[in-house]
Homo-oligomer: A and B are copies of this chain.
């Protein structure tokens, strides 16, 4: 099992604080040692840092922790290999282009018997079920909307259907972004917190580190942070309901008619899969 971290904001924000706690799970406070990666959107550009070694030993992770890269959409992942060897091509997040925008995807979970019929338009490079799911999502969207990106509600519902259908193959927690919205599907474990004024102090669970957000924000800032399990021990994290696809824009969850995918796992399934 792996760990996910995501951020969606209304103003470019650095993720140094949250990444410090998250990074500790890659070999220090948890056992996800088989690579890690993080993607930062910057306008319609994106930069992705990937490393096939544990975050706690990675000089690239030290750079990311100490160099404040500001972004409105970030997706990070720490890997505990279950399918596919340890290697850069199997390291999340994955990147492809669709409709003239970059898309970034990371997955936590385990899909069984998932071998969709690829038509060659978007192919996996590595051997993970996760990259197959991502490529299948993009191939399906391109084929359903050949003229280009549909409006937000239509796209959301298409993604919800895809999450539901892929989620029938197993545990499908994922984060997906095109640099404007951050889509978050919870099958078993995914929590989020929205930081906004009045800002206060937060303390990391995985490292003895606090930050006073009042000192580093303006009253207008709004930042949603998502993680497999809460990163701080003194903020009001909410569990994303199992079998739900959320869409975050400008630091808050959008509301659509029906947000259920029916692809929630039974409680305990993630513990079982991690065994």
Residue positions of A touching B, CB distance < 8 A: 42-52, 59-60, 63, 67, 87-91, 95-97, 99-102, 120-126, 142, 146, 148
Contacts and interface: CB of A to CB of B under 8 A. Distances in A.
Contacts of A142: 120
A146 B97 CA distance: 19
Nearest to A91: B45
A48 B122 CA distance: 20
Contact of A120 (B50, B67, B89, B146): B146
B59 A50 contact: no
Query: What copy number does this chain have within its complex?
Result: 2
Given A59-B67, A63-B59, A45 B146 contact: no
Contacts of A87: 42-43, 45
Contact of A43 (B63, B89, B123): B89
Nearest to A118: B100
Given A96-B97, A97-B96, A101-B125, A42 B52 contact: yes
B102 A45 contact: no
Given A50-B47, A60-B67, A120-B146, A42 B88 contact: yes
A63 B171 CA distance: 37
Contact of A45 (B46, B59, B89, B99): B89
Contacts of A91: 45
A141 to B, nearest CB: 12
Contacts of A42: 52, 87-89
